[in-house]
Amino acid sequence: MAAGTNLRTWFEGKWHDGNVAVMRAGDHGAWLGSTVFDGARYVDGIAPDLDKHLARVNRSAEALLITPTVSVAQMLEIVWEGLRLYPADAPVYIRPMYWGIDSGQLGILPSPDATGFAVCLEEIPIAAPDATTTLTTTRFRRPVLEDAVVNAKAGALYPNNARMIAEARAKGYGNALVADALGNVAETASANVFMVKDGEVFTPIANGTFLAGITRTRHISNLRAEGVQVHETVLTFDDFRAADEVFLSGNMHKVTPVTEFDGSHYQVGPVTSRARALYWDWAHSDASKTA
């Protein structure tokens, strides 16, 4: 079951309509989990930071010891060919994917000579400007590099995220604020996180337990360019309880304001609104084409 509608799939050299089957039962990715993906957005005829997302999927493949077979330039041609099949105002989620096909040593190591590749496009609306979420804690934590391939956007990491969200939903919240191995805040179950205190912005420092997102980096750059103090630092759950504003940062919806964390309530404040406005101002500017 796909997340969106109006799917198109690029596989084996051409675009296909619909949710096309791309993997076989014996593929390494199907039974040993060597799958990676990335996500970019097409909105209002633009695809902000598309090249960075495509470059990251190649790095993710290498981290999982599977060989990326398509250059960023080639992927850009493929993706834009597919996007031209949609109306310019369609909100499209762009998902390039790799997976291992053949097995190497002991059947566990993926063969470097056989990698599957596909791109899936599907219409998924951007959340409305007034959409918000709530957060709670979870007993599940982010792994470290010694335990999992956290330096990749790997499909195998997402069952852990899923159980975080399931726990949060069972408690009546929309998402989970997640700790790293030391008990400090890392991110949420689905996105990076920022907090605001006394007009300054704080976000967990990238310590190798989570992907420091492309959109996260863009927000930091945009805010600093406007003179806002942004700190990448160690943050605790108590820091978030004492925050003035909290918002999530991710490719899917760019900025999602948080209105509650386990009984601590927040307004959708001026810094959160400014971060969203700065992002879309940048995305529609000439600077986005050269960044």
User: The CATH number of the domain where 188 resides is what?
Assistant: 3.20.10.10
Strands (E), 73-174: 92-100, 115-123, 133-137
Q: Are 52 and 159 within one domain?
A: no
Q: What is the pLDDT of residue 287?
A: 64
Q: Are 180 and 93 within one domain?
A: no
**288: Cα separation from own chain's centroid:** 19
Average pLDDT of the chain, as a whole number:
95
Per-residue pLDDT band at 1 (split at 50, 70, 90) = very low
Q: Is the pLDDT of residue 121 over 90?
A: yes
Angle at 280 between CA 278 and CA 284, to 5 degrees: 120
Q: Are 161 and 179 within one domain?
A: yes
Q: Rounded distance, CA 29 to CA 36, Å? A: 9
Range of the domain at 58: 5-123
Per mean pLDDT, which range of 56-70, 98-112, 182-196 is the poorest? 98-112
Among residues 105, 123, 141, which one ends one of the domains? 123
Looking at residues 188-197, what average pLDDT do you find?
98
Q: Return the higher-pLDDT residue of 62 and 127.
A: 62
Q: What is the pLDDT of residue 290?
A: 58
Q: Is the pLDDT of residue 106 over 80?
A: no
Q: What is the pLDDT of residue 204?
A: 98
Q: Rounded distance, CA 103 to CA 106, Å? A: 8
Q: Are 57 and 179 within one domain?
A: no
Among residues 85, 102, 123, which one ends one of the domains? 123
Q: Are 114 and 144 within one domain?
A: no
**pLDDT tens-digit profile of 141-181?**
999 999 999 999 999 999 999 999 999 999 999 999 999 99
Domain containing 111 — which CATH number? Answer: 3.30.470.10
Residue 18 amino acid letter: G
Per mean pLDDT, which range of 11-15, 79-83, 101-105, 121-125 is the poorest? 101-105
Q: Rounded distance, CA 203 to CA 246, Å? A: 10
Q: Kindly report the backbone phi and psi dihedral angles of residue 2, in degrees, each rounded to the nearest multiple of 5, phi listed first.
A: -80, 160
Q: Is the pLDDT of residue 17 over 90?
A: yes
Q: Is the pLDDT of residue 129 over 50?
A: yes
Cβ atoms within 10 Å of 172's Cβ, excluding its own: 8
CA dihedral 263, 277, 219, 5 (to 10 degrees): 80
Bridge partners (DSSP) listed for residue 254: 250
Q: Rounded distance, CA 270 to CA 257, Å? A: 11
Q: Are 110 and 140 within one domain?
A: no
Residue 115 lies in a domain: yes
Among residues 123, 143, 160, which one ends one of the domains? 123
Cβ atoms within 10 Å of 209's Cβ, excluding its own: 23
Q: What is the pLDDT of residue 107?
A: 83
Report the candidate in 37, 109, 51 with the shortest Cα–Cα distance to residue 80.
51
Tell me whether strands 230-233 and 92-100 are parallel, antiparallel or unpaired.
unpaired
Helical H runs in the chain?
28-32, 50-63, 72-83, 158-170, 214-225, 237-241, 270-283, 287-290
